[in-house]
Amino acid sequence: MKHFTSVNDIDDPMALVKEAIAQKNSKEIAQIGKNKTIGLLFFNLSLRTRMSTQKAAQNLGMEVMILNVNNDGWALEFEEGAVMNGKTVEHIKDAAAVMGLYCDILAIRCFPNLENKEEDYADNIIHQFIQYAKVPVVSLESATRHPLQSLADMITIQEHKIKEKPKVVLTWAPHIKPIPQVVANSFAEWTLASGYDLTITHPEGYELSEEFTKGATIETNQQKALQDADFVYVKNWSSYTDYGKVLPITEDWMLTNKKLEVTNSAKVMHCLPVRRNVELSDEVLDNENSLILQQAENRVYAAQTVLKKILETNF
Amino acid sequence: MKHFTSVNDIDDPMALVKEAIAQKNSKEIAQIGKNKTIGLLFFNLSLRTRMSTQKAAQNLGMEVMILNVNNDGWALEFEEGAVMNGKTVEHIKDAAAVMGLYCDILAIRCFPNLENKEEDYADNIIHQFIQYAKVPVVSLESATRHPLQSLADMITIQEHKIKEKPKVVLTWAPHIKPIPQVVANSFAEWTLASGYDLTITHPEGYELSEEFTKGATIETNQQKALQDADFVYVKNWSSYTDYGKVLPITEDWMLTNKKLEVTNSAKVMHCLPVRRNVELSDEVLDNENSLILQQAENRVYAAQTVLKKILETNF
Amino acid sequence: MKHFTSVNDIDDPMALVKEAIAQKNSKEIAQIGKNKTIGLLFFNLSLRTRMSTQKAAQNLGMEVMILNVNNDGWALEFEEGAVMNGKTVEHIKDAAAVMGLYCDILAIRCFPNLENKEEDYADNIIHQFIQYAKVPVVSLESATRHPLQSLADMITIQEHKIKEKPKVVLTWAPHIKPIPQVVANSFAEWTLASGYDLTITHPEGYELSEEFTKGATIETNQQKALQDADFVYVKNWSSYTDYGKVLPITEDWMLTNKKLEVTNSAKVMHCLPVRRNVELSDEVLDNENSLILQQAENRVYAAQTVLKKILETNF
């Protein structure tokens, strides 16, 4: 494995999940990262991703350099051939090349802007880093995917599933602002690659890109979708077809314990941060079936396993 | 000791002071913090606290993760049961729980807002971190106290006192803005717990909460209070009774060498940052009796001793 | 060597360059910085300087503490004797003294404001840090010089020169904003101290301070200056005489491959960040004769050599 930007960078997703669980349960301190440096570059806010990746790298003995690109560094230009007589001070091709000289691995968070679908789905920032930085690049959530979150989610399902092929439901949830499709895309992709039975439920108009959902059952009736679910993953996203828009919804899509009665005592998942009582009710989040903290904890082992793999393969 | 938020978390304050002095004078490098991670969370600005705590943790072999909560992470909600359809993106109960999974110790700076006395003095942020994070929590200055500063102050007094029970005067000083009562509260609490003779002097209307000053002499005549003082601690605070207000004062409360003539060649202390020639004159600050840099230096050993204690007790 | 703020702090610049190249080619991990702490203080943005200095310090085994002065800490006062009843919260004399207690070395970035020539060229911030912090101070670019950049540039020239005394041309380049003279000053100073043949070319009105250029040939005809050049260093700067101004220029000063034809297949250098197609054309930057990434990479070894030297001399 050189880069880690989607499930497609992985030969055997389930093997990676099992390796992560082995690392989590091992008390051994790895020194494979000694004298290696990772750069964590944030174009956007981060709490879990920042701390869990930093912790994972330190667990491996790596040095960590963090750059909040918009606050600490220079405004970047992304357009090839641009005449840079405006606000941007440095071209990505120079900045990425330089950072690749200083870091053995670069990890990057770069959200979509939700204004231009083609631009966002080209995922240019992360691809330009791969092109110009030369070193392995890890996505800390790009414009299309959040693979470290999805790997942590797969670890969590593996730890809690009681049947080989559980029914997993990904349900849309309400939100007050336009939110990227990233987590939903990535979760669908990884769930399907793991061979699970995936149902996606959302109001009409919230269809995700088929690139990520091929093989899933799409069901716009939430209650019907929840029937016999083993895991329910809750997440808001803005419209993909009417790109970046929050469409008016009349039904109540927030998950409650009442709605969950038809499930197979489903475990409930959310990637956090969660707007309580908007996306998901307190009663569900604080219930014993909630796995939100287990997911968050597994972020460390997801990152650690990916970084270890990259270190083993490339150095 | 599990948490460190006030002198009440300590069985024997003087023993802690003596341990800190021993650590300061020891050249030994402790490795007790190896493979342990501390998270430093700042809701407010910091220079001394940030650097001295980071240095202390590194002296013990710990990994340090720093989060400027307002710039790096998500806006937090503190109200139980809130319907989060406004500006806040993540509830403290989720954020604190997650950070507790990533860090072995959490250290938090959370100033009061000086608008609502009951709210500030409930010290909710630090208590919610204790409630939800599960791991030991260290105050880097909360809404009511600044115990690491006070411990550093006690170390400094211990190093410079020439009699067993010195006379310590805490004097109010002028300022142009409303400043928390935090440092004064905490200093009073620790001085009294150390068995010193404490006089607090301030203009009328600047009485501190009796919770912190019971056992101290209160004297509104500054010159009278200074008589025979061995240590003079200078600090501004806004009114506690007329909460958060700067009351009009006609007398000149800024300390000068002239005013200090009635003292017992008193050592002068201030926690810094200090507004020179407003809170305290250059002539006093730059005099040989000034201990401001000794206090700042002792911040490292205060933090180091507290972290060592927590590591010894909890891991 | 105690401080590192200009070429004048160095006895033998060429020996330092050779030592840096030796360090670069050595695979040995130095532990000379173990249990030593460097503070990196940024009054201004930074990418290369931040990351390369952090990496250099970590390569030597040092602990690194980073402070973005304007975001993380208190607003600083620089005027002696100031009555601090305005926006500044802490005097440099206190802040620097305290940071000197927490750090074994301080490294500081403090740009000029380009409003007051005398003030900028007094380089007060870095000198006050030297005065008050007591510990060795390293310039990460001050109001007058950028010596770590210049040392990296000298390393790069040493690695690529094919004659003992190459012809080096420093050419002014266009920009849309007023830019400090810092890099040009420093490059001239180091090039001359290295015994190279230096020609500086710029439009009339852009003369640099003679303090830095004594011994160089000044030539306002760019094409004439480029004749037989072995190295061409491209950099914009605002006017020194009409201080901080961008003067109207009618000629085209942006370097092209065409213009370079009269050179001795000159290597092209720039310190980055570069505004592509404004300061320097894509065709030149992406040409095989461009050394911009080599310069950036050598920033690590410049910093590492300087820090090693300071550690050897002072501890």
Does any CB of chain B come closer than 8 Å to the CB of residue A68? yes
Separation between Cα atoms, residue C271 and residue A198, nearest integer Å: 52
Higher pLDDT, B167 or C11: B167
According to DSSP, the β-strands at B197-201 and B167-172 are parallel
According to DSSP, the β-strands at A167-172 and A137-139 are unpaired
Asked if B94 and A42 come within 8 Å (Cβ–Cβ), the reply is no
Nearest to B35 among A29, A276, A300 (CB): A29
Please, what is the average pLDDT of chain C?
Answer: 95
Average pLDDT over residues B197-204: 98
Does any CB of chain C come closer than 8 Å to the CB of residue A210? no
| Residues C265 and C114 sit within 8 Å (Cβ to Cβ) | no
Answer positive or negative: Cα dihedral of C66, C69, C72, C74: positive
Amino acid B220: pLDDT: 97
Under 8 Å CB-to-CB from B22, ≥6 apart: which residues? none
The least confident of A11-25, A96-110, B262-276, C219-233 is: A11-25
Query: Residues 219-278, chain A: which have Cβ within 8 Å of C?
Result: none
Interior angle at CA C186, CA C182 and CA C190, nearest 5: 175
End-to-end CA distance of chain B: 12
Interval C107-147: pLDDT, tens = 999 999 999 999 999 999 999 999 999 999 999 999 999 99
Length of chain B: 315
| Residue C315 identity | F
Average pLDDT over residues B152-174: 97
Instruction: Choose among B249, B283, B291: nearest CA to B266.
Output: B291
How close B72 comes to chain A (CA, Å)?
Answer: 5
Percent of chain B with pLDDT over 70: 100
B271 is in an annotated binding site: yes
Amino acid C164: pLDDT: 95
Average pLDDT over residues C217-235: 98
Which bin fits A228, alpha (ψ -120 to 50), beta or left (φ > 0)?
left
Q: Does residue B36 surpass a pLDDT of 90?
A: yes
Residues of C in contact with A102 (CB under 8 A): 48, 51-52, 55, 300
Other CB atoms closer than 10 Å to residue C135's CB: what's the count?
22
Asked if B102 and A42 come within 8 Å (Cβ–Cβ), the reply is no
Interval A209-265: pLDDT, tens = 999 999 999 999 999 999 999 999 999 999 999 999 999 998 999 999 999 999 999
Residues of A in contact with C47 (CB under 8 A): 67, 72-74, 90, 95, 98-99
Find the residue in A nearest to C57 (Cα): A63
Asked if A99 and C278 come within 8 Å (Cβ–Cβ), the reply is no
Does any CB of chain C come closer than 8 Å to the CB of residue B29? yes
How close B58 comes to chain A (CA, Å)?
Answer: 13
CA distances from C101 to A84, B174, B267, B301, C67 (A): 43, 28, 20, 12, 15
- In order of their start, the domains of chain C are 7-145+299-314 (3.40.50.1370), 148-295 (3.40.50.1370)
At residue B185 the predicted structure's pLDDT band, cuts being 50, 70 and 90, is: very high
Q: What is the largest CA-CA distance in chain A?
A: 60
Amino acid A72: pLDDT: 80
Interval B78-121: pLDDT, tens = 999 999 999 999 999 999 999 999 999 999 999 999 999 999 99
Nearest to B277 among C37, C39, C84 (CB): C84
Average pLDDT over residues C21-45: 90
Separation between Cα atoms, residue B187 and residue C29, nearest integer Å: 46
